[in-house]
Structure 1
Amino acid sequence: MIGTSTHVGSGQNTEARGIGPALPDAAAPVHRQVWAVADREPASVAVQDGDGELTYGDLRPGAHRLAAQLTTLGCHPGGRVAVVCEPSIAMVVALLGVLEADAAYVPVDLSLPHTRIQAILSDASVSAVVADGRGREVLGSALPWHAATEDLAVATLHAEDAPATAATGDAAYVIYTSGTTGEPKGVVVGHAQLTASTTARELIYPGTSTFLLVSPLAFDSSVAGIWGTLTTGGRLIVASAEQTRDVEQLVGLIAQHGVTRTLCIPSLYGQILDLVESDPAGPLSTLDTVIVAGEPLPERVLRRHFAIHRAGVALVNEYGPTEATVFATYRRYLSPGPVTIGHPIPGARLYVLDEQGRPAEPGVEGELYIGGAGVADGYLGRPDATARAFLPDPFAPQAGARMFRTGDMVRWTADGELCFLGRRDHQVKIRGHRVELGAVEAELRRVPRVKDAVVLPNPAATQLTAFVTTAEPTSKTALRQHLAERLPPVMVPATFHTVPQFPLTPNGKVDRDRLAETLRSAGAGPADDHLAQVGPTAMDGTVARVSAAWAQVLRIDNVPADVNFFDLGGHSLAMFQLQDALEHHTGTRPSIVALFRHTTVAEQASYIDGGPPGPAGTATTQERARAARTARIQRAKGGRSG
C-alpha cells in the first residue's frame, strides 16, 4: 500500500507503511482473561488502593455477587449499566461484575454537572446503575438502591432498550465524548475491539507490571491501565481522586509501591519531573516505562525524561481516539529524538489520505484514517454521525471492513513514522480532554440575549476563550454560570469577549483565523467585565500577596478576592504552579488539598494567616522548596514496599 512500518519491539522496516503487525488468534474477553489469571495465581495481589488490597482470588466473589444482583434485578445480557464510582478497588470490582453479567459498562464522571450526568444516563438508556457511597450521594437517595457488595449498591432504572442503530449486543463499554450539538455522544466499544486493543498492548509491553492508574474511569486511557494490567497478572495501584490532583502524592505512590509503569498526559508528567528534579535517582527509580497520551508530547518533556531517569527507562508516546479503542500508534523512546506519534500498533491499519481519498506521499500532509481490529462499533443511537465518521475501508483485504475518519492532520516521515500536525476541524485537546468547540458554541447560543458565539483555544491550548455577539448587554458572569451548570469544567471558557460582529472571510463565513490572531496579539489577559474590579495593588497584607500569586499563575492583571480559581481560568495542573507562587509571595506553601478546599483569594489568605508559619532561616525560597521536596521524597522512599 503506502510504505513501511515496524514489528513490535523492532526498529526494522518490514511491512507496508501503515499496516501494523498481525494479531494472534482472538483471545477471550478481558474479564475471562482476568479469571484465568485468578485460576493460576489466586494469591497474587491484583488491586490496591489507599484502603487495602484484593488478590486475584478475592476479585471473583465480589464481581460474581454483583453480577448475580444485576441479573436478579432484571439487567439482561446486552444491557448497559452505569458505573458511578470514585477511583478505588470497588470501582474495579464493579467493572468486572458488569462484564460478568454480560452487560456493557458506562463510566460516569462524578465531577460532571448533575444535568450532564442525567443526560448521559438517559442517552445510554442504562438499565441499572452501580455506585459506591459517593456515587449514591451524587445521584440522590430517591433511587431504589439495593446492596450488592460491601462497597457497592445497584439501582434499576427499567430503561427502554437502546435504539437498534448501533451494534450493542456484544458491547464491552460505552464512553461518552462531547458532540457538536452540545449533547454527550457515546462511543460503543465491543468485546472484540477491547480484546484486540488489550492484546496489542500486551505485545508492545510484554510481561507483568505494577501499574499506577491516574486516569479517571470516564477517560478511555483508564481502559489501558486496568485491562492491560489485570489480564497479564500485574498489580494495579489505583490513585484516589485526591491523589491524582497532587503530584507529591503521586510520586509518593510510585515510591511506596515500587511502580514500574504508568500512563498520564504529558503536562502531568512534566509536573512529576519538576518535583523530582532535585533527586532524579530517588522516588522514580522503580519505573521502567512511562507512557504519555491524550495531548501532544512537548519536546521539553521528552528531553527532561532522559535527563532525569537512568538509562533504559522508556518513554512511550501513544496516540489514538476513543473511536479506535484507546490507541492506534505508539513511539517508544530510549533516548531523545524527534517527536512523532510513531508506528501502527498490532492489528491497526493507518491511512494518510488527501481530500480525494488518495494515499498521500511521504512528507505530504493528509488526514489520518484508522482501520483494523480496534475500530469501534459507532456512536450509540446516532446513525447519521456514525455513517459520517465510520466509513467502508477500501484498502482492507477483507470485505466489510471499516475505517474511522479522525479529523487529525498528519504526514509520514521518510522513516515511516507519523507526525501529528493538528486538527482538520474545530475539535481541540484541552489539558488532555477532547473538546468539540461546536458543543460549547451551541450551549452559548442557548443563553437568552446571545445572538452568536465562537469559541477558540488560547495560544497555549490550555484554556478556551469565547467571543459572543448579544442583543443587549449581558453579564459575562452569567454566561460562565450557564455553561458551568451544563458542561464539564474543561469546556467552560476562561475568558469572554463581547464583540459587535464577527470578522468574515470573503465567502461569508466567520474568520476564525482573524479571531485567533486577536488572541495572540492581545496576550493572555481575560476580558471578563467582573475581573477588573480589585487588583493586587489596591489590597493590603496577605490578600495582596495571594492575589499577586494568582495574577502570576493566571497571567491576568486584576484578581477579585471572591471569585473561584477555576472560574478565572485555572485548572488542576495550574494548582501546582500556584503552590510555588504562593510560597514565593507569602513564604507559606499550602498543600494541594488545602488549595482545592480554599479556592478564592480571600479563603486562601485566611487559611495562610491562620496556618503554620512559612519556613524559617536565611535560605532562599527556591532552596527551602528543594529541601522540603527532598525530605518528602526521602520519606516516600522509606515507606516503599516490595
Structure 2
Amino acid sequence: MTISTPTAPAGRRPLDPAGHDGSPADPGCGTPLPGGRPGLVHDLVAGFARTDPHRTAVVAAGRSIDYRTLDGWAGRIAARLTAAGIGRGSRVGVLAAPSTGMVAAVLGVLRAGAAFVPVDPANPPLRTAELLDGAGVAAVVTAGDVGSGTLPGVPVVPADAEEHTDTPAGPPAGAAPDDPAYVIHTSGSTGRPKGVLVEHGQLAASTLARRLVYPGAPVFLLVSPLAFDSSMAGLWGTLTAGGTLVVATSEEVRDPEALVRIVERHAVTMLLCVPSLYRVVLDAADRLGPTRLRSLDTVVVAGEPLPPELMNRHFALRGGPVALVNEYGPTEATVWASCRRYDEPGAVSVGRPVPGARLYVLDEQQRPVPPGCEGELYIGGAGVARGYLGLPEATARAFHDDPFAPAPGGRMYRTGDLVRWNADGMLDFLGRRDHQVKIRGHRIELGHVEARLCELPGVREAVVVPDAEHTALAGYVLAPSRPAAALLRTRLAELLPAVMVPARITVLDAFPRTVNGKADRAALTALPEPVSVSVPTGAPADGPPATAGATAQPGPQTADGDLTARVGDAWRDVLAVDTVPRDVNFFDLGGHSLAMFQLQDALEARTGTRPSVVALFRHTTVTAQAELIRTGGADADAARGGDRHAAARRARALRAERQRAGREAAK
C-alpha cells in the first residue's frame, strides 16, 4: 500500500515520509542544527591558530606540526595561488601523498577562496589528466612524492617548498556559503567520472553535525585517501574541533600491524574506515595484543555493509567501553546522512538521520511508503551538494526539489539505495536499484567500467559484475578478434584506478541472454572460470620475464623448489585457482589489496614466515616472495627461527576463532 504525500496542519511543519511530525524525535528528521550560519571550516581552523597556536594539529610520518605552523604554511600556499590569479570560484587540483603537506595544501586552497579537486596520486597518469582537465582546474598544488604524471598546462605550486619560505601569508580571500569548497569524483555510468561539487555551506553544516555527534577534540587516525570522500569527515571534523589529525602514509595503510602501532604510539581516540579494513586491523591486534588499541574510544565504519560478525569481534576484543558507529551517506550528501551508535552488539542498521539531514523513503512516484515497506531513499537537508560539475542533465536526474522541506527552496538527492524503516525507527539498508556496487568501500558504476572496456580495440560488448564477496570485479567481453584477456586488462589499467579494473577478464564468443535480449548477468557469474591463466605481456616489475609454463607446483625437489611450491600453495589458498605461474603479478591473477592480507596469513601457515604487507606489495610474484622469505629480507618478520609449525598453529587458531565468531553471529 502507498499513501499520499502528507500535508501539514496549519501552523505546523510538514509531515515527513515516515508519517511523523518533523520533531527532533522523528526518525526521518535529524536534530535541527543550531541557529545561524555554521562557521566555514578554514576559518575555524584559523581560529585555533590564534587562540591555541601550539596545540598539535597534524602528525604524519614521524613529524608533527601545531596549528600556528599549519596556518602559516597554508597562508603561504594561498599567497602563491593568489599571485597566480587564483581566487573565488577557481578550482585547484590537489595531487598529494598522505602527509602534513597534503593538509596544508587543501587548507591553502580554501584560504585562497578556491575549491580543491583532490586526485589520488596512485591513479594512472591518463586518469589524473582526465580528472583535472574535466574539472577545469586553474592550478595544481602538489605535496609529497607524487611522480611526474601528466598535468594540464597550468601553474603548479609545490606545497612542500612553501613550508619554510619567506612568502608573506596574505589574509584569507573570504568565501560565501554558496561558493564551491571541493569537487570529489565518483564513478559515472557513461564511462566518464562525475565530479560532485560541494559548497562551503554544505561542508560547514556536515562538519558541524559531526562535532555535535562526536563532541570533544579527537586524536583521529586518517586512513582514507584525500580523493575518497570519507577523508573530509576526518580532516575537517578533527581540525575544526581543535583535535589532532594523525595521517597514515600509503605504506602504513597497507600494513594493518603498522596501523595498530600508530594507534598505540599516538594514543589515537577515533578511527574511521571501511569494515573490511577494520577486520584486518582487528586481526593485527589479535597478533600484537589487543591492549595496543586501548586508547580508542570510538570506531566508525562506513562505505560497506557492516557484517554482524565484525560487530561481535569489536566488542569481544575490547575490554573497555569503545563505541562502534555505523555511518551511511553518499558523496552527494557531503559524506554522511545517517548513523547508528552501538555500545553493545545489536541488529545492524544505518540508524537515524544526522543533525540537519532529512531522510525520505519513497516509491517510484516519489510518494512516501509506510514503515516496514521497501522504498528508495532520498536525502534532504543542509548537506545536499550543489550537483555534478558541468553535467546539468545528470544533476537534474539525481537532484530534485524537496516537497517535504520545512521551507521553500529545499532540494533532495535520489540515492538509488533501497531501504525501509524498521520497528525501532531505524533505517535498514536493503541494496541497490541499479548497477552501482561498492568494491572495498569505493562506489563504482558497473556501466563506467563497461563503457571503458568497449572503448578498447576489438571489444564489441562488455559486462562487468562484482564477485560474491564484493572485493573485486569480473569482466566479460565479446571481441570477434579474440584479443588476449591480459592485454585488455593491461590497457584498461592505463585508464582506470586499480579498484575499477576487473581482476579477471574473460573473452567470449557470445553472452547468455535474457528473454528480452539483454546480457544475462546472473548466468555470466555462474560460468566456470577459465582453466588457463592468461599471462600479461612484458616482464613484471620485480622479476624476470613471465613464463606461461613455469608454475608453482607442489612437491619438493630442492630446498628452494620446496619453498617456491609452498608459496604457490599459499597463493592457491587465497586466489582459489588451480594454476599459479611463478612470475606473474599477484594482482594479474585476481588479487587485490584485501587479498594481500589473506596472503600474509597463508604464507605464515605454509612457510612459517610472516612477511610484512609492505614487503608483499613490493614483491608480487611467487618467485620474488619465495626469494624474500629464503633470504630473510629486512621486510620479513621473524616468525622464522625454526618455529614454522608454531606459526602455522597460530594462523590456524586465528582462522578457527574467526569461524567461531561467524557461527555466533549467525545465531
Fold match by TM threshold 0.5? yes
Q: Is the 8 A contact 1:77 1:103 kept in 2?
A: yes
- Between Structure 1 and Structure 2, how many residues are aligned? 607
Matched residues in 2 for 1:112 and 1:177: separation? 14
RMSD value over aligned CA atoms? Answer: 2.6
State whether residues 4 and 14 of structure 1, in contact with CA within 8 Å, keep that contact through their aligned partners in structure 2: no
Specify which of 583, 586, 602 is matched with residue 562 of structure 1. 583
Offset, 1:45: 0.7
Q: What one-letter code is carried by the residue in structure 1 that aligns with 2:466? A: P
2:215 is the counterpart of 1:206: yes
5+ residue gaps in structure 2? 1-15, 166-175, 537-547, 556-560, 655-667
Q: Deviations over 1:264-322 (max 9, x none)?
A: 00001011111222566410001000000011111110010000112421000000000
For residues 53-93 of structure 1, the C-alpha deviation after alignment (integer angstroms, 9 at most, x for no partner) is: 11111111111111111000111221011111110111111
Aligned residues of 1:211 and 1:229 also touching (Cα < 8 A): yes
**Per the alignment, do residues 325 and 606 of structure 1 end up closer, same or farther by CA in structure 2, a change over 3 Å counting?**
same
Q: How far apart, in 1, do the equivalents of 2:420 and 2:653 lie?
A: 46
- Relative to structure 1, the CA distance from residue 627 to residue 351 in structure 2 (aligned partners, 3 Å threshold; closer, same or farther) is closer
Q: Which residue of 1 aligns with 2:646?
A: 620
Residues 465 and 496, structure 1, Cα contact 8 Å, conserved in 2: yes
2:240 is equivalent to residue 224 of structure 1? no
The answer as to 2:415 corresponding to 1:394 is no
Match for 1:28 among 23, 39, 50?
Answer: 39
Query: Which of the residues 545, 552, 555 maps onto 1:536?
Result: 552
Change in Cα spacing, 1:5 to 1:47, as seen in structure 2 (3 Å) is: farther
C-alpha distance in structure 1 between counterparts of 2:223 and 2:447, whole Å: 29
1:453 aligns with 2:462: yes
**Pick from 282, 285, 289: which aligns with 2:298?**
289
For 2:515 and 2:71, locate their aligned partners in 1 and report how far apart those are by CA, in whole Å: 64
The correspondence for 2:599, drawn from 575, 578, 585, is 578
Distance, in Å, in 1 between the alignment partners of 2:392 and 2:456 is: 29
Which position in structure 2 is the counterpart of 1:431?
440
CA distance in 1 between counterparts of 2:21 and 2:572 reads: 48
Partner of 2:94: 83
Cα gap change, 1:146 to 1:465, in 2 (>3 Å): closer
Give the drift of 1:603: 1.4
Mapped to 2, the partners of 1:148 and 1:551 lie a distance apart of: 45
**In the alignment, residue 597 of structure 1 is paired with which amino acid?**
R
Equivalent residue number for residue 411 of structure 1: 420
Structure 1: give runs of 5+ residues left out of the alignment. Answer: 8-12, 155-166, 629-642
Q: Do the aligned residues in 2 keep the contact of 1:108 with 1:117 (CA within 8 Å)?
A: yes
How many angstroms does 1:525 deviate by?
7.3
Helix, strand or coil for the counterpart of 1:450?
A: coil
**1:150 paired residue number:** 161
Q: For residues 251 and 72 of structure 1, what CA distance do their matches in structure 2 show?
A: 43
Residue 501 of structure 1: how far off its partner (Å): 2.0
Q: Is contact 2:361–2:369 with CA below 8 Å preserved after alignment?
A: yes
Q: 1:529 to 1:145 in 2, by over 3 A?
A: closer
Q: Identify if the C-alpha distance between structure 1 residues 143 and 351 changes in structure 2 by more than 3 Å, giving closer, same or farther.
A: closer
- CA separation in 2, counterparts of 1:292 and 1:563? 34
Q: Offset of 1:354 from its aligned partner?
A: 1.2
Distance across 2 between alignment mates of 1:537 and 1:625: 23
Where 2:261 maps in the other structure, the secondary structure is helix
| Match for residue 383 of structure 2 among 374, 378, 381 | 374
User: Residue 318 and residue 245 in structure 1: after superposition, are their counterparts in 2 closer, same or farther (change >3 A)?
Assistant: same
SS in 2 for 1:138: coil
The verdict on how the C-alpha distance between 1:280 and 1:543 changes in structure 2, with shifts beyond 3 A counting, is closer
Given the alignment, which residue of 246, 249, 270 partners 1:240? 249
Residue type of the partner of 1:541?
D
2:356 alignment partner in structure 1: 347
Q: Amino acid of the residue matched to residue 557 of structure 1?
A: D
The one of 347, 363, 367 aligned to 2:372:
363
> CA 1:434/1:411 → structure 2, altered by over 3 Å: closer, same or farther?
same
Residue 129 of structure 2 aligns to a residue whose secondary structure is: helix
Q: Deviations over 1:139-163 (max 9, x none)?
A: 5799765566536799xxxxxxxxx
Q: What is the match of residue 590 of structure 1?
A: 611
Distance 2:517 2:163 in 1: 55
**Which residue in the other structure is 1:631 paired with?**
none
- The one-letter code matched in structure 2 to 1:116 is R
User: Corresponding residue for 1:175?
Assistant: 184
**d(CA) in 2 for partners of 1:431 and 1:178?**
14
Note if contact 2:552-2:582 (Cα within 8 Å) is conserved in structure 1. no
TM-score by length of 2: 0.86
Which of 558, 561, 568 is matched with 1:547 structurally? 568
Higher mean C-alpha deviation, range 292-301 or range 169-178: 169-178
Q: 1:551 offset after TM fit, Å?
A: 1.0
Q: What corresponds to 2:623 in structure 1? A: 602
**Amino acid aligned to 1:202:** R
Give 1:421's aligned residue. Answer: 430
Q: Deviations over 1:451-504 (max 9, x none)?
A: 111100011111111111121322001111111111111111111223332222
Given that 1:495 and 1:528 are in contact with CA atoms closer than 8 Å, whether structure 2 keeps it comes out as no
Deviates most, 138-147 or 56-65 = 138-147
Judge conservation of contact 1:131–1:153 (CA < 8 Å) in 2: no
Q: Cα gap change, 1:425/1:586 in structure 2, threshold over 3 Å: closer, same or farther?
A: same
For each residue in 1:609-632, what CA deviation from the matched residue of structure 2 results, as whole angstroms up to 9, or x when unmatched? 22268232485224567999xxxx
Determine helix, strand or coil for the equivalent of 2:611.
Answer: coil
Report if aligned partners of 1:291, 1:316 keep a CA contact under 8 Å in 2. yes
| Partner of residue 198 from structure 2, selected from 186, 189, 192 | 189
Mapped to 1, the partners of 2:644 and 2:510 lie a distance apart of 56
When residues 205 and 115 of structure 1 are mapped into structure 2, their CA distance, relative to the original with a 3 A threshold, is same
Letter in 2 for 1:493: P
Q: CA deviation at 1:135?
A: 2.7
* Counterpart amino acid of residue 16 in structure 1: D
Change over 3 Å in CA distance of 1:145–1:428 after alignment to 2: closer
